[in-house]
A and B are shown apart, each in its own frame.
Chain A
Amino acid sequence: MESPAEPIVRIRNLTKSYRRGEQRVPVLTNISFDIAAGEFIALMGPSGSGKSTLLNLIAGIDKPDGGSLTVNGTDIATLSEAELADWRAANVGFIFQFYNLMPVLTAFENVELPLLLTSLARGERQARVDLALSMVGLADRTTHYPSELSGGQQQRVAIARAFITDPVILVADEPTGDLDRASANDILALLERLNAELGKTIIMVTHDPHAARSAHAIRHLEKGELDVAP
């Protein structure tokens, strides 16, 4: 479909500000950059620099004020709410700092959730979820509820949920921020595998230099502006 040279994420002159009372607080000012398909990039920068905001824009859960934002060939800034929801379901996998699993659903049901938005039959869903859970090493935890799993295990369930629909990009906002060193290493290794073996493009926000070393490239955000890593 696309030539290999075509970037999977193409950002031009992106601006974003938030309203605080009467005032507009600029968060991102005139950001332009590309991410190639199959990349694993780490976004770093001080707290409040706009990392999460940038990630949210790329993932299509927030709307830019200006500029263009093309992800996997779609200018997502022009999509309607409902179109954007469908687009996210098909194109983006989300990994959150606090896992964001549904507490009342089992590991299996949490991973199955995004598949309920597809036309897959029950049997196919079951096969896919079982495969994904065994890929993250939790084949024996399918009927456990999140409260019965450790933080690292919960994050692995969340990762299975993120790639279950086979999206082109995975966005991870501080995926190891709530984990101890060992669990964090598991998660990073898993992300590296998803990138290397399944070819997923991964954009990871982190303030942990150790975590950032898993990425191929590191971009720094400072006061809403992007710099190449030194």
Chain B
Amino acid sequence: MSVPLSYIWRNLAARRLTTLLTAGGMALVVFVFATVLMLEEGLRVTLVETGSPGNVVVTRRSAGTEVQSIIDREQAAIVESQPEIALGEHGLQLASKETVVLISLAKRGSDKASNVLIRGVGSHGLELRPQVSLLSGRMFRPGSTEIIAGKSVAERYQGTGVGETLRFGQREWTVVGIMDAGRTGFDSEIWGDADQLMQAFRRSVYSSVIVKLVDPDRFPEFRARLEADPRLTLDIKQESVFYAEQSQLLANFISYLGMILSIIFSIGAIIGAMITMYASVANRATEIGTLRALGFRRANILAAFLVEALMLGAAGGVAGLALASFMQFFTISTMNWQSFSELAFSFTLNGEIAAKSLAFALVMGVAGGFLPAARAARLDIVDSLRAA
């Protein structure tokens, strides 16, 4: 057996203030670490949920995003007529020829403007997105200047409530409904009739065509035929892949920034833990010498101080994670540079992130505690007993 846990634990409790400060430092680092992972996860969930299985997004080859994509009417017609596309009511293909435009809208409360994506959708636009439902008001009527706003847009931008009007494309547009698009990117968009929007913005081309396949497994055939068609120069992607790729840059940025912040902060926390642990060893030299005299081995002493550092790390980890879990109540919106529009998503905590954060805290504990623990284990018995 080894040095009892109660001895280790009570020593931490006895040095209440230093323990609290040291664990607090680690808690802050874990908070940053967990928050970044939660942000990445929130973004990932938002984009994965934006895509529906079986949906395919067709854009111009190497356009990357819908904003930069151009598909003319003939090409769109060819895409729409493929046999893999599921049929809806009246035997019509489940396809939506869409156009996206960025407009600048003033935020509520601040007058600061930001880009919002307006999506002109075809008659099947809503049907193709089962995640989107109307929260209040009603759907826009085809062929009218009515629009519906995503919930997160309605919360954050002026003139986007039901019954309010917005002016863009030299027309007045009336908001007739608010859509709840869950955690998807559509929550950050405004939708209207594709033909009306194209007229208003004097466009003769679409941005993308969204189709639903009869069977998601038929995607390869569908793509192969379109890619082989000499009249077309298009990118054909599953919707989930399309959205995930679209935010890759943002996801990478968040994860690099988070990594750098975590590393810098953790160096501070590790040094803090190291100082605390060295002090703990120095203050208890006589106790260490006594334990050794009683027959505890160097390895027992090493283990005892490592466990002490691990307990500090664990305390910091749990506290930091608890703090981070409150972040789930927050939604953040940021510019997605790839689509040049704002994207709102929330911090998302899951078991994997919790485990990673705790592991990170324990690693910090060991990193800070190893050298002091090794010093404690190396102490000469007679010297440490004479230190009294």
Contacts and interface: CB of A to CB of B under 8 A. Distances in A.
B287 interface: yes
Contacts of B388: 98, 100
B294 A113 contact: yes
Contacts of B295: 85-86, 88-90, 114, 117
Contacts of B385: 61, 96, 100
Interface residues of A, number: 26
The CB with the most chain B CB atoms within 10 A, among A82, A96, A98, A104, is that of: A104
A1 to B, nearest CB: 21
30 contacts: A61-B292, A61-B381, A62-B382, A81-B297, A82-B297, A82-B298, A86-B297, A89-B294, A89-B295, A92-B293, A94-B290, A94-B293, A96-B290, A96-B385, A100-B286, A100-B289, A100-B385, A102-B287, A102-B290, A103-B14, A104-B6, A104-B7, A104-B11, A104-B13, A113-B294, A114-B294, A114-B295, A116-B2, A117-B1, A117-B296
Contacts of A62: 381-382
B4 interface: yes
Interface of B: 1-4, 6-7, 10-11, 13-14, 286-287, 289-299, 381-382, 385, 388
A86 B293 CA distance: 10
A104 B14 contact: yes
B7 A94 contact: no
A105 B298 contact: no
Interface in A71-130: 81-82, 85-86, 88-90, 92, 94, 96, 98, 100, 102-105, 109, 113-114, 116-117
A94 B296 CA distance: 13
Sorted nearest first, the 4 A-B pairs with minimum C-beta distance are: A89-B295, A104-B10, A100-B290, A61-B381
Contacts of A86: 295, 297
Contact of B297 (A85, A96, A100, A113): A85
B6 A105 contact: yes
A61 to B, nearest CB: 4
Contacts of A185: none
Contacts of A100: 286-287, 289-290, 385, 388
Contact of B382 (A61, A96, A98): A61
B241 to A, nearest CB: 58
Nearest to A56: B382
A212 interface: no
B292 A102 contact: no
Nearest to A82: B297
Contacts of B7: 102, 104-105, 109
Contacts of B2: 116
A90 B294 CA distance: 9
A59 interface: yes
Given A61-B382, A81-B298, A100-B287, A116 B14 contact: no
A88 B10 contact: no
Contacts of A105: 6-7, 10
Contacts of B3: 116
Nearest to A83: B297
